[in-house]
Amino acid sequence: MKSGRNPDLMSDPELASWYIGYAPDQPHDIPLVDRSKIAPEFNRQTVSYNGPEKPGTIVVDIDQRFLYLVQPGGTALRYGVGVGKLGFSWSGVASVGRKGVWPAWSPTKTMVRIRPNLPSHREGGVDNPLGARALYLYQGGRDILFRIHGTNEPWSIGEQVSSGCVRMLNEDVVDLYNRVPVGATVLVKRNGHYRV
């Protein structure tokens, strides 16, 4: 295997069946998901969009498991996402406070309370829960500990399984990361609404 790849990913036959190869990236290559295993509606695609949000706004629909990046001309890029379990999801208005490439991860106090065996810290890599990229959401200049990030569990896309954050396929979160600047507005909706 090429340097930067995690050999454990492809050595597990069940896990390896989700992947078809790698896309070059630094410092780790991105495992590419076999899209035939993902429901077609959760594949990245351009769709009609008639919401009032300005182009460049990220809109996350928790209930439908979609993230929209609003485009000019009544369209949006739509990505399938995995969302937080009931009681863990956040909704509201935030902004992208910072962005991370292959970010390190530390569990929140709530996560540790629920799963005491979690590691206290994990450096960035293919086996890191934040995946290849992360967008860190802020309100009033403060990190609210809510992330839009990659995942090493592609089967969770379209599901309600995470500890609250919005997870995307690694190749999708890289695409979003490259399109969205720090400061972009993020609206996270539940039941068609977001708290202000």
Compute the distance between CA of residue 54 and CA of residue 143 in angstroms, rounded to an integer: 23
User: Which of 28, 121, 149, 193 is an active site residue?
Assistant: 149
Longest dimension (CA), the chain: 49
Answer yes or no: 193 catalytic.
no
The stretches of 90-169 forming alpha helices (DSSP H) are 109-114
User: Which of 28, 121, 165, 193 is an active site residue?
Assistant: 165
Phi, psi of 103 (to 5 degrees): -70, 155
The three-class DSSP label of residue 79 is strand
**Would you give the end-to-end CA distance of the chain in angstroms?**
48
Instruction: Tell me how crowded residue 139 is: count the other CB atoms within 10 A of its CB.
Output: 14
**Cα 49–Cα 55–Cα 60 angle in degrees, nearest 5:** 60
Answer yes or no: 28 catalytic.
no
Task: Report residue 182 as tokens.
Answer: 């720090």
Residues 6+ apart with CB under 8 A from 36: none
Question: Which residues are identified as catalytic?
Answer: 149, 165
